[in-house]
Chains A and B, each alone.
Chain A
Amino acid sequence: MGADVQLASEAGCHLNSGCGFPAPGLNEFDFKPIFSVGGVDFSKPMLLSIICALLVVGFFWAAFAKPKLLPGKLQLVGEIGYDFVKRSIVLETIGKKGEKYVPMLVSMFFFVWIMNIMSIIPFAQFPVMSKIAFPAGLAAIVWITYMTLTFKKHGFVGGLKNLCWPSGIPGWVMFILVPIEFFSNIFVRPFTLAVRAFANMFAGHLLIVVFSVASWYLLSPSIGALYGSVSFVVAVALTAFELLVQFLQAYIFVMLASSYIAGALEEAH
């Protein structure tokens, strides 16, 4: 498995030991399959995503399965999380008619967040969202949801108008703006939604790996030990920083999803 395997195989590789810096790269994101079924590999990210789903379900099951009027500690924590997504994201962006989409967006937020958090959980140490397949799947769900809503609410022509005819713009600008809006709202949105989450987690993971590997590589009886310890401190700081980014990316992902839904539900203009 990526980082672990490499670190293990390069265990004796230090500065001044006749060994080049084992720079981490894309190989960090390529895992040996745990097992294969009919030519399909089952890899670590898949296992982690299943664990994440179980964690989210397990947590909310423990918190909400037998809800009480006077909440216990776990229920209270769950309620705060639920209320945060419901009020600060969904109802804030969509308004009262967003109630219907709260369960989907709450599920999405916590699923994405915990998949991001996997980046800094010992032994997992891999953000599942840094494999583009996972954000792409979720972005596809968002795309299908808001496209369906647009055409369901406004009909085919009205839906197209909703997607690419901005209001309050003088006529001649429309020549440029309508194609841009069409392209942006239908094709670019899901792509950027997926890539934003993917790229952030990808880069964050790579940074942590680079500094971790460097601090190990620089550890030698020379001035390198000093650099190594600096590198280690940076790795720790980056881990803390990643904790923030993980939350932020989950927040942005769900925030954008609900703003797309809000756009689809907007009255015709």
Chain B
Amino acid sequence: MSPVVALAAEEKMNPLLPAWPEVIIGLLCFFIVFGLLGKKLLPSIEKVLSERRDAIEGGMERAQTAQAEAQALLEQYRAELAEARHEAARITEHAREQGAALITEMREEGQRQRDAIVTAGHAQIEADKKQATAVLRQDVGALASQLASRIVGESLEDHARQSGVIDRFLDDLEAKAAVAQGAAK
């Protein structure tokens, strides 16, 4: 390339002057890009992006709800547990009281039954004693009359009975015995 030619070429070309075909092609290319991106591709991605934002926010909201629910459930569970514990304590206390009362009652009942049995025994003994005394008195009277009639040789039975000698004698004996008993005491 000779200097003259190069100079001529440089004179011909001014880098600050746009060539119209290039301007047109450049604008055309830009509008192709802008058209396809602006009309189709960017709206579609924008839609997906907002859907994703919703999904994420929705997910977070759901998680928060679930957490709150779990918290509430935990509170409820704790409250129920405390109540159950309280109830159990109450029941135990009640049972203890009831048991104590039952034991007392049983003890009283036993005491009462014992007393009844003892009283009944005493009465029986008293009755037996009275009966025995009465029988004994009769027998002793009879025996004494027999003995006396044998000694006297005659039956004093009727007379003795009428006179109540024997009874009087026995009463005396009894009184003496009582006195003797009182003295011994």
Question: B-contacting residues of A (Cβ < 8 Å)?
Answer: 25-27, 29-30, 40-43, 45-46, 49-50, 52-53, 56-57, 60-61, 63-65, 67-69, 75, 78-79, 82, 102-104, 106-108, 110-111, 128, 131-134, 136-138, 140-141, 195, 198, 202
B51 touches A69 (CB 8 A): yes
Contact-residue bracket for chain B = 35 or more
Question: Which residues of B (1-40) have their CB < 8 Å from a CB of A?
Answer: 1, 6, 9-10, 13, 15-27, 29-30, 32-34, 36-38, 40
With CB as the reference atom, state the residue of chain A lying closest to B6.
A27
Interface of B (DSSP majority class): helix
CB distance from B19 to the nearest CB of A (A): 5
Question: Which residues of B (67-112) have their CB < 8 Å from a CB of A?
Answer: none
Question: With A40-B21, A45-B22, A108-B30 in contact, is A29–B45 under 8 Å at CB?
Answer: no
CA distance A106 to B10 in the complex (A): 36
A132 touches B17 (CB 8 A): yes
Question: A-contacting residues of B (Cβ < 8 Å)?
Answer: 1, 6, 9-10, 13, 15-27, 29-30, 32-34, 36-38, 40-42, 44-45, 47-49, 51-52, 55
CB distance from A12 to the nearest CB of B (A): 15
Show 24 A/B contacts (Cβ-Cβ < 8 Å), sorted by A: A26-B9, A26-B13, A29-B15, A53-B33, A56-B33, A57-B32, A60-B37, A61-B41, A64-B41, A64-B45, A67-B47, A69-B55, A75-B45, A82-B42, A82-B45, A111-B33, A131-B18, A131-B19, A133-B19, A133-B20, A134-B22, A134-B26, A137-B24, A198-B15
